[in-house]
Amino acid sequence: MDTFRDMLDNWESRAQESSERVEYTLELHKHDLVKIKAFAQAYGLDEATITRGLIHSALMQAEEAMPYVKGNKVIRVEEGEDIYADAGRTPAFVEAEQAISKALDINGPSS
């Protein structure tokens, strides 16, 4: 067992995670705050960790749940089947996400 390597890897992971965080203020319903505080007490974690985890999970699920809306334009053919462009909100979401990531320099400077 390489305990020093494990420790250093853990520190590196935490440093990377910490560098990717930003502070953001939001309003919550009182009953949501009660639940966050209850999760924090039940798991022995701070409220920020619980909130971060909940928001991250909710965003991942919301993104996965965005429906595909079949458009009129064929964008490619796969195995003889026409694949149509998404006419729903997903393309606008992806475009906005890429622009915001670039503006916030999420992926770091280009090499």
User: DSSP letter string over 32-45?
Assistant: HHHHHHHHHHHHT-
- Is the same domain home to 12 and 41? yes
- Taking the C-alpha atoms of residue 106 and residue 108, their distance in angstroms, rounded to an integer, is 6
In which band, very low, low, confident or very high, does the pLDDT at 108 lie, cut at 50, 70 and 90?
Answer: low
- Is the same domain home to 4 and 58? yes
- Is the same domain home to 60 and 91? no
- Is the same domain home to 33 and 52? yes
Angle of helix 30-43 versus helix 47-65 axis, rounded to 10? 110
- Is the same domain home to 41 and 89? no
Chain centre distance of CA 33: 21
- Is the same domain home to 92 and 105? yes
What does the DSSP assignment read for 1-56? --HHHHHHHHHHHHHHHHHT---------HHHHHHHHHHHHHHT--HHHHHHHHHH
- Is the same domain home to 10 and 48? yes
Q: What is the pLDDT of residues 3-19, one digit of tens each?
A: 989 888 888 888 888 88
Domain that holds residue 109: 67-111
- Is the same domain home to 14 and 50? yes
Q: What is the pLDDT of residues 31-79, one digit of tens each?
A: 999 999 999 999 999 999 999 999 999 999 999 999 999 999 999 999 9
Give the torsion sign (CA, 38, 43, 44, 47).
Answer: negative
Give the torsion sign (CA, 34, 22, 103, 84).
Answer: negative
- Is the same domain home to 59 and 73? no
In which band, very low, low, confident or very high, does the pLDDT at 107 lie, cut at 50, 70 and 90?
Answer: low
The number of folded domains in the chain is 2
- Count CB neighbours of 86 within 10 A: 19
